[in-house]
Amino acid sequence: MHARSIKAAIVGSGPSGCYAAQFLRKCWSDAEITVFESLPVPYGLMRYGVAADHQGQKAIEAQFSRVFERDGVHFVGNVTIGVDLHFDMLAAAFDVVILATGLRTDRRLDIETGSDCRVLGAGEFLRALNGWPEVDLPRKPDGRLAALGKRVGVVGNGNVAMDVVRLLGKADADFDGSDIDDARLAQFRAAGVRQIDVFGRSPISRAKFDIAMFKEILALPNVNVIYSGIDGGEDCRALDALRTRVQMPAAPVTIGFHFCATPVACCADGDGAVLEVKQNGDRRDFEIDSLITAVGFDPLSSRDPASAGQWCGQHVYRVGWLHNGGKGTMAENRRNVKAVIDEIRHAFADGHLATGAPGLTALTGRFPGGHVDFDGWRRIDAHERKHCPPGRVRRKLTEVGQMLAVARRHVLASGMLTTSC
């Protein structure tokens, strides 16, 4: 028992931050728990990473929202630690600080790339399709996102690469029940994507994707699937699925899976580029208009001081993607968070950590831009669900100013806010 209740701060409201709040509440029913979040909206990559057409994965949101609604955890959105509030000030106000800031920067492909080649990180691309408000991708003079062209190369064989391929290849009519950002998807596909070539270094038997993700692509009715880099001696479920797939040469989109294929250079060529690939000792050239790299996230080039190791202290802990170097599903991160909360529990029991910090009250009036609480998020949530187009479950607001206006109940003269990119 503690004479005074524990005051805990969590930085980041993605899945790991939400799990941390949940486990802390289970350990200490009287703890004061505050979750700080840069955006006015919670849930991090659950909202902005998990693919828009995988709503089943996003159902975990109901569990997370109970943490704030029922378990009395404070949500302090629209506050970036390190920008709106100095980390030292935060650290002084709480008995324990849990950093759950994730990793945002796509790992760069380590090959020779001409400066005219259009290369996008898969994380940035998928966040854009998920309505992320800070998209930093090439735009046309009118502000619309530049089209990817007809031929897209995708480097990587993990589940993020499979998300990219599926979302690019899927027909418009198959997005029913999703919350895809239709405007951005149309802008990316404005030239009509016809060919998607996917390059993985490993043989098919060691490809990192989940078989269910792979089969979902093979089941797309509007695509033809071709493949290369299979030596015939291999035996695995992915290959069985590939071989039994019926060929559809007249389909509008062709997806080529190339295994044992390592890109070595990408050179500009006219309006597009040529991707040079080494495959089983041979060199092959692929003509592409854009290249999307899905080769993980980079802990070192992150703009975030948390991952640069600047934020530390005896009572400061790291969880989730920040801790794991941008790896793992939500379930894997849950296990990591549980282990860290156990560590914290022992640290209080052993006397390495102590109560006595003032908590959130010490920071009253410290957020000059104003913060968004959980009721504010609920107003945004209700607005997005109410104003979604037919066949969609929500239309995300894509500008922070719009989110703040809705959270603060400001109604524009038109009576309805419009989304724009």
Ligand X SMILES: Cc1cc2nc3c(=O)[nH]c(=O)nc-3n(C[C@H](O)[C@H](O)[C@H](O)COP(=O)(O)OP(=O)(O)OC[C@H]3O[C@@H](n4cnc5c(N)ncnc54)[C@H](O)[C@@H]3O)c2cc1C
Point out which residues bind ligand X (CB under 6 A). 11-17, 36-39, 44-46, 49-51, 54, 57, 80-82, 100-102, 123, 126, 160, 163, 304, 320-322, 328-331, 333
Give the span between the Cα atoms of 163 and 327, in whole angstroms: 16
Compute the distance between CA of residue 6 and CA of residue 73 in angstroms, rounded to an integer: 13
Q: In sequence order, which residues have a C-beta less than 8 Å from that of residue 230 and are 6 or more positions away? A: 203, 204, 239, 259
Least separation, in Å, of the C-beta of 17 and ligand X?
5
Choice between 30 and 136, CB closer to ligand X? 136
3-state secondary structure of 133: coil
CB of 183 to ligand X, least distance (A): 19
To ligand X, the closest distance from the beta carbon of 298 in angstroms equals 13
Q: What is the DSSP letter of 302?
A: -
Beta bridge partners of 274: 267, 287
- Residues 53/178, Cβ–Cβ less than 8 Å: yes
3-state secondary structure of 11: strand
Phi, psi for 51 (deg, rounded to 5): -60, 145
- Can you give the three-state secondary structure of 173-222, one letter per residue? HHHCCECCCHHHHHHHCCCCCCEEEEECCCCHHHCCCCHHHHHHHHCCCC
Nearest residue to ligand X, by Cβ distance, number only: 14
Of the pair 126, 242, the CB lying nearest ligand X is at 126
Smaller CB separation from ligand X, 31 or 97: 97
Nearer to ligand X, 28 or 36 (CB): 36
Nearer to ligand X, 42 or 229 (CB): 42
Dist CA 355 CA 54 (whole Å): 42
Query: In angstroms, what is the minimal distance from the CB of 381 to ligand X?
Result: 15
Distance CA 61, CA 179 (A): 14
Determine what percent of the chain falls in helix, strand and coil, rounding each to the nearest 5: 35, 20, 45
Whichever of 149 and 296 has its CB closer to ligand X, that residue is 296
Q: How does DSSP classify residue 121?
A: E
Q: How far is the CB of 270 from ligand X (least distance, A)?
A: 31
Q: Residue 85 CB, nearest distance to ligand X (Å)?
A: 8
Provide the minimum distance between the beta carbon of 182 and ligand X in the complex, in angstroms, as a whole number.
Answer: 18
Residue pointed to by tokens 């580029």: 273
Nearer to ligand X (CB atom), residue 85 or residue 261: 85
